[in-house]
Amino acid sequence: MCDIAEICRRVLFKFKIGEDACGYSGKGSSFLISSMDHCYWVAALHSIGPSPSSINTSINTLKVTPSDDAEIYLPFDEKYGWLNPEDQAEYKDICMLRVNLTEYLEYGDGKLKSVDIDLGFFAAKDLLQDEELFVVGYPAESNEVDYDAQKINNTRVVLKAKYMGFSEYAADYYHKIMVNSSIYLEDFDGLSGGPVFCTRDQLIDGVMLPRYLLVGMVIRGGASSGILRFIGSEVIKSIVDNIENIPT
């Protein structure tokens, strides 16, 4: 699970403190996906900002590394979301930024780890009742502020969960899970935008091995109930399909 967990990146913003110093803020989770030609950073829109103007400002200060050992932040060149304004709110709670691969390949200092859209996705609608799933994210309660280094140290967690079927809200694409992990969290704050995975056995080099497949992205939830709700991977893939079918 270590390799797939590293696909999850924390949401972090850099800001100035006076003339010479900088600080960091932010909470939330995100992850990277890739198609044949492009790579995208995916997050819950509400973890970036409460309004369009604040979101655009926040994106300009967003700092995301491509992997745990990288120190240079990813460059972005386009912003996307769900394109139909008549769709329900949860559809709109997706922000997708395209990575400028040309710039990254020239200056990047670490391997870019992402989920392959064609090989690493599994349709959430095909999940089995009570199936074990895995949620990866950066809970806000694990934040530790290093004031001397002017940075936030945040621990990534992997939570086991049980699939409970379609949510009562927007039942065609919105799902719910019950967290049953041994990791105790007082609050699910910060998990929004985190990837949700299932496992399926696949033949790899002649051996049947379990493979982690992306089934969606966490949008909201509450630790008191233990329930998280997530948008199915089909929605994320449909956004990418719309993006890459747009004539250039």
What is the C-alpha to C-alpha distance for residues 137 and 190, in angstroms, rounded to an integer? 7
Whole-angstrom Cα distance, residue 19 to residue 118?
Answer: 46
Specify the pLDDT at position 11: 87
Point out the residues of the chain with pLDDT beneath 70: 1-2, 15-25, 50-57, 81-91, 141-154, 170-171, 182, 246-248
Structural domains of the chain, with CATH: 2-245 (2.40.10.120)
> Measured between alpha carbons, how far is 34 from 3 in angstroms, rounded to an integer?
16
pLDDT at residue number 98: 94
* Residue the block writes with tokens 């621990």: 155
Per-residue model confidence (pLDDT) at position 83:
45
Tokens of 83: 């394109």
- 182: tokens are 């041994």
Pull the structure tokens for residue 85.
Answer: 């304004």
Residues in the chain: 248
CA distance 17 to 218: 32
pTM of the model: 0.86
Sorted by sequence, the CB contacts under 8 Å of residue 169 that are 6+ apart come out as 88, 90, 229
237 φ, ψ (degrees, to nearest 5): -65, -35
d(CA 30, CA 49): 14
User: How far from the centroid of its chain's Cα atoms is residue 150's Cα?
Assistant: 24
CB distance 70 to 109 below 8 Å = yes
- The torsion defined by the Cα of 201, 204, 207 and 209, in degrees rounded to 10, comes to -30
Residue 81 in tokens: 């979301």
* pLDDT for res 56: 66
